[in-house]
Structure 1
Amino acid sequence: MVVCWCAQLAGRFWGPLVLQPFLLHVFTSTDLPPPSYLGTIARRRLAYAGGAVLVAAGTAACLTTDLFDRPGDAAQGLAVVVGLGALTAPAWLRGQVRPVRDSLGAAAGADGVGLLLALLGGAGGLWLVAGVLATGAAVLGRAAFGSVPSVDLARLARESARAAQSQTYAVTGTLHHALDLYRPEPRGRTSALLRADGQLRGRLAQGAVRALRTPGRAAAAGAALLVGGAALTAWMAGAVCGYLGSGWVSETWRGLRDELTLPPLYGEWRGGALGRALAWPGAALAAGTLVGGVLALVLPWPRHGASPLETLPLVVGSVVLSRLRRA
């Protein structure tokens, strides 16, 4: 159930309860209970979201399959599309109002149900799929709307302010600033950047510690680097994974952008900025390529003759140019 994962992830960053900051301030300044206005807004936006998913899924099914061309299957296909729209809307709300562990549990349960349906094969056909989607929508909707009264209004105010600021950045053409607002904030391990004598650690050690301060991002970067190294002989797939991984694994790109665009505080520093920024992501990309290359020897990856010596400079150059273009 990929739709359940994607809807809850979207709700975690930009959910249906995100309002304009001034409008939310007006509501919270009154004596109205939060469910009275948040519930109304949520129901209206979920109806819009469900309708949009219904139209998109129905259009995709019409263009890519012959499901609606057969009169006997048209009703079943329509039921599945309606169930998909009905499931997406409450999953979007649940991703915002419930903790991450609950969202992961719901998505894992949806995956289990999807696997069970795949094992059952054709038993029951599309009517069974539609019934499961409708049941899941009812269960998720009840749980999500039941959590609306317990929404943290302070957190909702922060999310609304961040959304309004990101919209302003996006409209004015500075999309990279809008994306920066949704980057995970580093936490913990600040003292690990220093040695026992109070001096900063080396460049590679600093990069590794800073990567570990955002563990989710670092895990995604590590997976992308390994896949990119293993698929490097399939040039395009490996290059894309290496590009994503080397960008995610390090926060030094933001420091490089600031160092090259902002005025220096203690005089001009000539040279070394690019080398300092490339030390950790370059080492991580090389390590991922090495380990992934070993995996590629035992995995049946497609091979097109591209070598790491040809690809890695292009990947690193693309990352650098992308970050400098955003400056």
Structure 2
Amino acid sequence: MVSHRRSTPSGLNRTVRITVLSTAAATAAATLGAAPASADPQDTHEATKARVDRLYGEAEKATERYNAAGEKVGRLRGEVTRAQDAAARGQENINRMRTALGSLAGAQYRTGGIDPSIALLLSSDPDTFLDRAATLDRLSARRTAELHKLQGAQRAVAQTRAEATRSLAGLESGRAALVRHKRTVEGKLAQARELLNSLPDEERETLDRASRSGRDEPVPALSDRAPGSGRAMAALTAARHALGLPYVWGANGPGGFDCSGLMQWAYAQAGISLPRTSQAQRYAGRMVPLSEARPGDLVAYRADASHIGMYAGNGQVIHAPYPGAPVRYDPVGMMPVSSVTRL
């Protein structure tokens, strides 16, 4: 007789279900920072915030490498253009020298094609012949000098072309570096966005507002002094006009900025040309202690100066924080300060 009782799930089926559920739970935990189920929500929030900050920091470092590569490409592009122009001018000069030497050789051949001693015996006017012989000697000396000049010009053009070739090779290498750093930046930012999007809306908004400005590293007492110079005041005024504009990595205005791009643009409005990267900007002037910071001074962050802002007084900096956050004020101690530079 056939039994119609419902069969009891086998141990294997239960194991499969448990495995699937465990895998799903582990995936969810990994998305939210791999926090255990018993973790305090605040702990999860802090872990997520730390990961987002780290990703933004890594993206900033890659952005500054991208900016440095872009600056190098621009310099090499100028070197290639100048070398090619110089080589073209040099070749034109060589062509003129060759033409002049050809004319000189032809004239010398026409007037000096007979042995001078025989020409003297046959000459009906020895004095005139001697004058012509002296002229031929001068022409020969001139021809020798012109040949030396031609050889020197040819060597110079060859060297210029070699320099152009090296600059072209560097240009191609720089372009490859630009692509590589761009991919790194985009990858880091995509990871940060994915992590933020995994959070509930309210928590995501809180995290975005708190990032960077949510911390305040210990700083010495700051005395509110006047800007170091009129140009520093002009740069600070320009930076204030940029408040609210978006962070755009690799941009230096006027519609968007990354951190070093904002500093470069602001000081350009004051008539001062700054390097493109935050690492180079920190050495663009005289370093001063943080306790003596004045409005308009550049404040570099982290040991590698991968972030930079402008001191605005009252313990605040103006800076372009990260993608999604506009140019804004934040506490000067939002991250570890590595240097303060006065221009």
Please indicate the TM-score interval, normalised by the length of the shorter structure.
under 0.3
Higher relative contact order (CA 8 A, sep 6+): 2
Structure whose residues are more often strand by fraction? 2
Structure whose residues are more often helix by fraction? 1
Task: Please say which structure displays the higher CA radius of gyration.
Answer: 2
* TM-score using structure 1 length: 0.19
